[in-house]
Chain A
Amino acid sequence: MSGLLSWWTDHFTPMLSWWQWLWVLLVPPAIVLLYFLKLRRQPLEVPSTYLWRKSIEDLHVNSIWQKLRQNLLLFLQLLIVGLAIFALLRPGYRGSKLIGDRFIFLVDNSASMNSNDVAESRLAESKRRVAEMIDQMRSGDVAMIVSFSDRARVEQLFTDNRRELRRRLDAIEPTHRSTALGEALKVAAGLANPGRQFEFGENRISEGLPATLYIFSDGKFPAVQGFSLGNLKPVYVPLGNPESTNIGITSFAVQRAEENTLRSQAFARIENNGSQEAKVTATLLHDGRVIDADEVHVKAGEGSGVAFDLRDLASGTLELRVSPGGNLASDDRAWAVVSSPRRGKVLLVTPGNDAVVFAVGTPRASQLAEVVIAQPSVLDAKDHLQQAAGGAYDMIIYDQCQPKEMPQANTLFIGRLPPLAEWGFDAKTAPDKIKGPQIMDLDSAHPLMQLIDLGNVHFAEAIAMKLPAGGTRLIDTDAGLLFAVAPRENFEDAVLAGEIVGADEKGGKYANTDWPLRLSFPVFVLNAMQYLAGSRQAVDTGSITPGRLLSLRSDSHTQRLTVRSPSGRSEVLARTKGGMFHYADTDELGIYQIEEEKKPTQAFAVNLFDSAESDIRPRAENTIKIGYVDVAGVASSESTRRELWRLLLLASFCVLLVEWFIYNRRVYL
């Protein structure tokens, strides 16, 4: 009995309640009744019934079959109604394991899911499978959809509204990002496991009930460490064809020759993630025009480099294309921006300090940045105040002086404290002095302190300072902090507590330290300039990966920047408090143009450049590891329930057509 019941629930999902069924089941008897009522034959006068009688007599021999044939239309009508009723039972056969009542569908939409080795794309295939699963949900079942790449996004919270689920599922867009399952798991777990409950806006759901977690992915992500599934029952649905091949560009950059900054070269690395050696054509385009091409042989599973001499190419955008590119298209093209070398702008405010002036004047330093030297009197000038507030400088070095307000730039203070309470500054009282500090420890891992040896450096005195929150201690002495760096909004302030050149009460100058005599001093200044004035380098030459937040700076005082994406979508950015412009919509691949007052000023490229995503071959072992649990992939073929009601309805329509045809065209058996 229970076996029969389970067979019934397996194959049928009645769509109506019992009283509706009662009405539906009344239809066939009604048809039969109406048919007999209708069977009043039409009288027709004929010359003679002589021949008709003889004909009927012959046919009466097999009368049962005759009656059947005569009532053909009735039987067809009953067949139509029967098929419709059967369709209402929603028959189907299911091979899937939709066990629980709550489902969480994690849909991978990272870059590798754009591969077209399965149907339209892996993402489309996984969306199709999720849609099938949504279709076979019973009433009362709830499901949630989460898309994930390097971040997770809740597309739809737990709901039993299948239409809404399908709508949200369709809205999942492919991305070019990398894959990280961890965050998606946390989101799912937060809704399934008690104690770690998430709240999303008004929709507070989930009391930590068990749920089945379906992960639709090609498995191109590292094992998730330190995660407990708790109530979640994971099902991994692997996607992707193991035979798929992909040849992709994993890096592409333009570099200027060390010896001659006017000449530049483009380098690219092409990886072959297939099982056979590939011969690909790499084409280089400059502003859309082909300028060079090369043929590259890449062994299976390996990478190969390719270089192009750009001669004196000064500006513009470069695009590299490889063909054939395999199943994933997004890494077959890469972009780079060629721009004239940009130097940072550094302002040195000093009443006179030969050591520092010499250090910022070395060829290497002047190659890095353009240095302007000014007297402390400039700090009160109106022009300077405007420039400082408008972010005209990348870095300002205050030697033996300090501004009244902090500028919109990175700063290096020598022998003075920034006018901020966090550093222990008090405008009314002079800072405490430390006599003869002995250097005890330094953070040589920090970029500011690289290649610096302070073993034989001495300071006569220094001022006492406090380390602001988030700051880094760089040089510690027995008496206190000597050198530290701390963030301020978008900038960083470095403070060296000891003067290089001290001044006594009478205004006489004396050397406070012997550091300028050591080799490490110019290196220290160079480090500071590189670290504090060279931060724009990343945007200028390199490219960023999709989805990354980008902070842009403008040389002018404009309050608005327009960023035009490769597809032509433009977004106007407003200057933030820190004088920066933030742009987050970097999901498209290609060249983004930055415009100031409708004039293009800068450009940057967004490239995939992700070996893990370019390697689109699905996970070989067919299992994923979440915490200590191995989740085996389930075979794709058994994961769906085939619905028959559409076929049945179609069949009943066909029968209706046949009936209509028989009735009107007098086609009889």
Chain B
Amino acid sequence: MTMPATETNQLLTPELLAQLERLELVSRKVFRGRIKGERRSKRKGQSVEFADFRSYVAGDDLRFVDWNTYARLDKLFLKMFLEEEDLHFYVLLDASLSMEFGSPTKLHHAKQLAAALSFIGLVRADRVKIETLGQPARRPGPIFRGRASVWRMLDYLDGIAAGETTSLATGVKNFCLRNSGKGIFVLISDLMEKTGYEAAMRYLVSQQLDVYVIHLLSAEEVEPDVKGDLKLVDCEDQDVAEITASAPLLHRYQQTLAAFTSGAREFCTRRGMNYLLATNQLPVEQLVSSYLRKRGLVR
């Protein structure tokens, strides 16, 4: 890696990079098909990674017959090799004003996460595409490929600023209109949508994507530190809620939050999406190397 240290510090640390280099992105949908060899690939034979044997059927390419086995067993077997194909990796960032809260801000945390995942993809020569919800339908984001694009990718992420006002549903819909391929899709958002996140999720179901929803909340949202009589102002739509902080109210808030997150988890799980709840207090390296690994996004 040839990258200025200051740039790395912002989103990715050298230690994290060293850790990430050993990982690769995994798509359950794509690999399932390839292992069984039911789908033919344009670049078969170029691979060197052995996968399995199967019996010879008429019409098979004789170049892949294992002659050593035929000599021993007097039966024709066909050697199968893993097909190496580049993976499409999409990251959709929520860059609304509400993501600007927290310390570090949720947006920064989301960028770090996106950078880490994208880095893994770039190292493994996958095709990485990073977009935000506010991006217009007709203007696709840049595509990164190869280790050399890491610098460009980080630069691009760095340029993303909070302040977009597009709703979650519109943002996801626009994304789906722009991109219609297979691959891994990661949505990083706080899902704080007054009209509900369900509509947005439904757009994703119809896509042939391996969807990961990372629900990012700030510590202040999980454990609100409020006291006295307050007038809460929504930073996005200036909506006002008058509260008097009291034990039952705080208790009620916790219940509401729990219902909200578990509702989202259930909604995603039922539709074959992966849901992960994260806070801005959880370090990115831990999130990637531990949580996402368990979910099967990386290995």
Contact = CB atoms under 8 A, between A and B. Distances in A.
Interface of A: 39, 41-56, 58-59, 66, 69-70, 666-669
A59 B252 contact: yes
Contact of A48 (B192, B230, B231, B247): B192
Contacts of A56: 241, 243, 249
Given A46-B234, A48-B236, A58-B252, A41 B247 contact: no
A668 B246 contact: yes
Interface string B223-265: 0001111111111100111111111110011011100100000
A371 to B, nearest CB: 106
A41 B252 CA distance: 20
Given A41-B229, A69-B248, A47 B241 contact: no
A51 B191 CA distance: 11
A45 B229 contact: no
B98 interface: yes
Contacts of A47: 98-99, 101-102, 106, 190, 192, 218, 220-221, 235
A386 B268 CA distance: 132
Q: Which 4 A-B pairs have the closest CB atoms?
A: A668-B247, A48-B192, A47-B98, A668-B246
A52 B229 CA distance: 14
Contacts of A49: 232-234, 239-241
B194 interface: yes
Nearest to B253: A55
Contact of A42 (B106, B220, B231, B235): B231
B246 A69 contact: yes
A365 B236 CA distance: 128
A76 to B, nearest CB: 14
Contact of B253 (A43, A44, A52): A52
Given A50-B194, A669-B246, A44 B231 contact: yes
Nearest to A59: B252
Contact of B230 (A42, A53, A66, A667): A42
Interface residues of B, number: 40
17 contacts: A41-B229, A42-B231, A43-B232, A46-B232, A46-B235, A47-B190, A47-B221, A49-B232, A51-B256, A52-B241, A52-B253, A55-B253, A69-B248, A666-B227, A666-B245, A668-B247, A668-B248
A41 B248 contact: no
B189 to A, nearest CB: 12
Contacts of B192: 47-48, 50-51
A175 to B, nearest CB: 65
A43 to B, nearest CB: 5
Contacts of A39: 229
Interface string B20-47: 0000000000000000000000000000
Contacts of A45: 232-233, 235
A522 B124 CA distance: 151
B233 A41 contact: no
B234 A669 contact: no
A44 B230 CA distance: 7
A45 B220 CA distance: 12
A58 B256 CA distance: 9
Interface in B100-121: 101-102, 106
Contacts of A51: 192, 221, 253, 256-257, 260
B229 A53 contact: no
A43 B235 contact: no
A68 B243 CA distance: 14
A56 B229 CA distance: 13
B221 A41 contact: no
B249 A55 contact: yes
A54 B235 contact: no
Contacts of A50: 192-194, 234
Given A48-B98, A51-B257, A43 B231 contact: yes
Interface in B199-235: 218, 220-221, 226-235
B233 A43 contact: yes
A301 B226 CA distance: 80
Nearest to A69: B246
A46 B226 CA distance: 11
B257 to A, nearest CB: 6
B188 to A, nearest CB: 15
Given A44-B230, A44-B233, A48-B234, A669 B247 contact: yes
Nearest to A46: B232
A666 B230 CA distance: 14
A25 B240 CA distance: 38
Interface string B87-106: 00000000000110110001
